[in-house]
Amino acid sequence: MNLTGLYIQKKIQGGDIREFERLFMRYYEPLCQHAGKILNDTNTAEDVVQEFFYQFWKNRKTFTPKFSLNAYLYQSIRNNSLHYLEHLAVRKRYAEQVLSEFQDTIPAHLQTEVDLSELDKAINETFQQMPERCSRIFRMNRFEGKKYREIAEILSISVKTVEADMGKALQIFRKSLREYTGDSSKVAR
């Protein structure tokens, strides 16, 4: 790493908010453009970059790039953008799975009207209604494939709390997706 990058790293690790703001102002637009090329969506690119800088500041004390600061920033945005696309693919597969699991319960006259984008929208709205921890636990389990014990360790909570929050999440989904399923007793497992 060059001396300038090392200097910036040390200042930010020490909690120098002004140095962090300078770094943010210098790289925000170029990193948004970089993410935009990968994501093909300006708003999402901005979200990815903002989330990166939030995490960067939050974890600044453990920040130790092996290469130049510039390379680290661009590589991180690339990885975060690809992770976001992967997350979208998982959500799409999940929506397709929910739709196929409930296909038998959807009345025939509604089957042609229900499409994946509507279901995806309903799922997103359902996540908005959930308590934050409940939503996070559900996403970690269903989208990232984490086991209850892993989630409990990551969030520093008990396995029973994870189970309870998953139960709440499934109950919220059951209620929210009732119009798509016609049956409130079935939930995607």
Which CATH code is given to the segment(s) 106-181? 1.10.10.10
pTM here is 0.52
**Residue 153 corresponds to which amino acid?**
E
Phi, psi of 100 (to 5 degrees): -70, -35
Are the CB atoms for 141 and 148 separated by under 8 Å?
yes
Is 95 in a helix, a strand, or coil? helix
Fold equal for 3-83 and 106-181? no
Long-range CB contacts (< 8 A, 24+ apart) of 144-148?
144/90
N-to-C CA span, the chain: 48
CA torsion sign, 42 to 48 to 49 to 51? positive
Domain boundaries, the chain: 3-83, 106-181
Write down the pLDDT at residue 173: 80
Q: Cα(45)–Cα(33) distance, rounded to whole angstroms? A: 8
Residue 39: closest CA among 95, 91, 94, 77: 77
Write down the pLDDT at residue 184: 43
Q: Cα(31)–Cα(104) distance, rounded to whole angstroms? A: 46
Write down the pLDDT at residue 21: 92
Per-residue pLDDT of the chain in tens (189 residues, 90 and over written 9): 556 777 787 888 888 899 989 989 999 999 999 999 998 888 989 999 999 999 988 888 887 767 788 888 999 999 999 988 888 777 777 777 666 665 555 555 444 455 666 777 787 888 888 888 998 898 888 877 889 999 999 889 999 999 999 888 888 888 887 766 555 444 444
Residue 121: closest CA among 182, 176, 188, 181: 176
> Which tokens is 35 given?
């993410």
> Which tokens is 40 given?
């093909």
> Which tokens is 98 given?
């929910």
Residue 134: closest CA among 98, 175, 162: 162
Q: Which residue, chain included where needed, has tokens 């798509």? A: 180
Write down the pLDDT at residue 177: 75
CATH classification of 3-83 is 1.10.3720.10, yes or no? no
